[in-house]
Structures are given as C-alpha cells and as structure tokens.
Amino acid sequence: MTLVAIETSCDETSAAVVRDGRVLSNIVSSQARLHAEYGGVVPELATREHLRNFLPVTQEALRAALVTADDLRAVAATRGPGLPNALMVGLKAGQAIAFALRKPFLGIHHHEAHLYSPWVSGPPPVADFNAFQPNVSLIVSGGHTMLIYMESEWKHRLLGGTLDDAAGECFDKVAKLAGLPYPGGPELDRLAAQGNPLAYDFPRPLLREPNDDFSFAGLKTSVRYFLQKHPEILEQAAKTRDLCASVQAAIVEVLVTKTLRAARRLGVRCVTASGGVTCNSALRRELSAACQRESFTLRLADKSLCTDNAAIIGILAERKLAHGQVATSLDAEILPNWTLS
Ligand code: KG4
Ligand code: ZN
C-alpha cells in the first residue's frame, strides 16, 4: 500500500510517503527559525506557515518518493493532540486530498505515532514488532513526558505523565535562562557534552515517588533561583557548560530511573523511547547503559524520527488500515486535547 501522510500539529510542516512499512520520503519544513525571536512557538504564526508550506512540502514528498497521486491508496494526517489551528491545516488538507482521490482517510493520534516510531526503521523490520511485546515505552517531547505499558500491538495503557512541564519544555526553558538560542534542547545537549554533570546538584523531582508521573517545573525554577544567586556562572563558558551538564544529568536520571523501575515492576523485557528529547545524547547513552546492565532489550527511535515528522504518522496509519481499522470520516474534526488512554 502506498500512502501519503501529513503532520502539522506544532511547528513542523511535514509530509511523507510510505509503502509496505518503509519510508519512501519524509520532508520536514521546520519553523524553528521563525519562532526563535519570540523564544517559543507562536500559534498564529505556526498556522500561517503551515498554510504556506503544506502544498510544496506534500508535492516534494511525492516527487522524492517517485510517486504520483494515482499511486496513492490512502491518505493520513495528524488529528491531535496539538495546536488547534495548526492541526486544522493538516487534517483538512489530508481530508481534501482523500476526497479528491476517492481514497480512505485516517486521522492519527500524534503520540500513538511516536509510540510506534521505534519500529519505523532499522532491523528487525516492522513485521517483527510482536517479538518486543510487552514493553514499557517512554515518550518524551516538548509537550509531553509519559510512560506507557504496551501489552500487545494494539493494546496499550498510560502509566503516568507529567504533572506540569514536559522534559523538553524544561530543557528549552533552562536553555533560555542560560541565554542559549531557541530551541534550546539541542543546544543545551551540545554544551553539556563538554561540561561536568557533577558540578551542581539540582533536584530530581519525583524520583523516589512510587508512581510513574513526572514533574519538571520545580527543577526549572530551582535553576532560575540558582542563577539569580550566581549570575557569574553565565559569564564563564566552562561554568555554563557545567550548568548545562548538571541540569541534563538531573532530567536524564529521572527519565531513566522511572522508565526502568516501571519496566521491572511490570516484568517486561523490552523498553522503547521516542519523541524529540530522545535525540538527547545523554538520554540515549544512559538509557542504553541501564538497559544493558539489567538485560532489557532497548529500542530507541531513530534520531531522524524523534522530532515531529509525517513518516511516523504514515507508518502507523498504514499499519492500522492493514489491520482493518475503519477510515476516519472526511467531516471529522481536530482533537487538540486527544489523550492516549
Ligand atoms: O517531539 P517534538 O519534535 O515536538 C513535540 O511533540 O513536542 O519535540 C521537541 C522537543 C523540544 O523541546 C526540543 O528542545 C527537544 O524536543 N529536543 C531535545 C533535543 N533535541 C530536541 N532536547 C534535549 N536534547 C536534544 N538533543
Ligand atoms: Zn511530537
């Protein structure tokens, strides 16, 4: 089956063509530069950019995959959660294309697509998916931090999530406090690589609590107070790098410890991770080391598929259609607050 997918839930306009579990093209037009001067995503600007970009990006995805509209058997788009008007652009565009081509349309849950993204690429192929069930899955991005118990391919349960800020939001806000350019997560990661993670001791929120929830707002606030007390740190490059490494170590320790604790408790043998923050080098390294120590099989989403992109939407949509999921109505509306149950 050849399928085109569109993703516009936040600040990336993306279109992808997938066929039989493989990604033929995955075009991502990032708006990061546009939002940089405001220090965060401005919803109205994001919507305008999606409107401007979705057609050229979709055309480019078809061209790069060497397919035409006649080859398409289905169309998919992100239905939620996300910024309402941004979602509306991709969903309505996808429904219009499906209507024009008289093909089935599928509205996809953004987080469910992240959840399945560790299987999009790399051996073993998607077909071997069931060999990794059950598993505990960490989805960690700019908007969400959650742990999911995936019992079997279509049966998953939310174990816990963030009570306030997501881990990516914490990375971005701390980076802003440190004067780093937006989006701060990747920049903080880069500086942290040359810093000392033991230089400063920041809190590890909810680390010892016997639940699967997260909370990162307090950590960000403690960094703010710390920098108010020690403004000289930001005047020295080496100390700024130490600060980045220390904050990153606190976030990563919480994510790794709570993920493995859930995996142990539920008796699974496999752990997966996905979402933008899964690009973080310390998280990849520490999660790999911890899983190796405790003999868990780890499946990390490929870095190119961690941040928002349409390939993960397309792969999940194709799999759902292949498993008999009924198409979404062409009148279906966006679901900006769609939760993963
Ligand atoms: O999944 P994503 O593209 O968008 C959401 O659904 O939120 O994730 C974006 C988030 C941002 O907060 C960004 O700073 C963070 O992922 N991020 C990183 C890194 N790369 C992206 N955070 C830490 N280290 C990175 N290398
Ligand atoms: Zn995302």
Same-domain check for residues 157 and 291: yes
Q: Can you read off the two tokens belonging to residue 78?
A: 């992100």
CATH of the domain at 96: 3.30.420.40
330 lies in a domain?
no
Identity of the residue numbered 305: L
Among protein residues, the one whose CA lies closest to atom 10 of ligand 1? 142
**Angle at which helices 167-177 and 184-192 pack, to 10 degrees?**
70
Given ligand 1 and candidates 28, 171, 172, 284, which is best to mutate, with the most ligand atoms within 8 Å of its CB?
Answer: 171
pLDDT digits (tens, 9 = 90+) for 140-183: 999 899 999 999 888 999 999 999 999 999 999 999 999 998 88
Among protein residues, the one whose CA lies closest to atom 7 of ligand 1? 142
Same-domain check for residues 100 and 161: no
Same-domain check for residues 115 and 137: no
> What's the structural domain count of the chain?
2
pLDDT digits (tens, 9 = 90+) for 209-263: 999 999 999 999 999 999 999 999 999 999 999 999 999 999 999 999 999 999 9
190 lies in a domain?
yes
207 lies in a domain?
yes
pLDDT digits (tens, 9 = 90+) for 183-217: 899 999 999 999 999 999 999 999 999 999 999 99
- Which residues neighbour ligand 2 (ion) by CB within 5 Å? 141, 308
Closest approach atom of ligand 1 to CA 172 = 14
How far apart are the two ends of the chain, measured CA to CA in Å? 28
Ligand 1 is surrounded, with C-beta below 6 A, by: 10, 141-143, 168, 171-172, 183-186, 189, 275-277, 279-280, 307-308
pTM score, two decimals? 0.94
Query: How remote is the CA of residue 176 from the centroid of ligand 2, in Å?
Result: 21
Same-domain check for residues 89 and 159: no
The pLDDT assigned to 125 comes to 57
Same-domain check for residues 179 and 97: no
In angstroms, rounded to a whole number, what is the distance separating the alpha carbons of residues 243 and 201?
9
**Domain span at 21:** 2-125+308-322
Using the structure block, give the residue that is written with the tokens 């060999």.
131
Among protein residues, the one whose CA lies closest to atom 23 of ligand 1? 185
Same-domain check for residues 141 and 217: yes
137 lies in a domain?
yes
341 lies in a domain?
no
Same-domain check for residues 275 and 147: yes
Closest approach atom of ligand 1 to CA 279 = 26
Instruction: Give the closest ligand to the alpha carbon of residue 247.
Output: 1
Same-domain check for residues 105 and 218: no
The pLDDT assigned to 127 comes to 55
Same-domain check for residues 175 and 76: no
Same-domain check for residues 48 and 98: yes
Same-domain check for residues 86 and 189: no
The pLDDT assigned to 229 comes to 97
Given ligand 1 and candidates 177, 220, 280, 307, which is best to mutate, with the most ligand atoms within 8 Å of its CB?
Answer: 307
Q: How many CA atoms within 13 Å lie on the side-chain side of 91?
A: 26
333 lies in a domain?
no
334 lies in a domain?
no
Query: How remote is the CA of residue 239 from the centroid of ligand 2, in Å?
Result: 32
The pLDDT assigned to 124 comes to 55
Same-domain check for residues 13 and 59: yes
In angstroms, rounded to a whole number, what is the distance separating the alpha carbons of residues 304 and 327?
28
In angstroms, rounded to a whole number, what is the distance separating the alpha carbons of residues 131 and 133?
6
* Phi, psi dihedral angles at 239 (to 5 degrees): -70, -35
Q: How many CA atoms within 13 Å lie on the side-chain side of 316?
A: 27
Contact 165, 140 (CB under 8 A): no
What are the CA-CA distances from residue 58 to residues 7, 68, 110 (Å)?
10, 11, 18
Closest CA to 3 of 321, 335, 314: 314
Query: How remote is the CA of residue 107 from the centroid of ligand 2, in Å?
Result: 15
294 lies in a domain?
yes
Contact 287, 272 (CB under 8 A): no
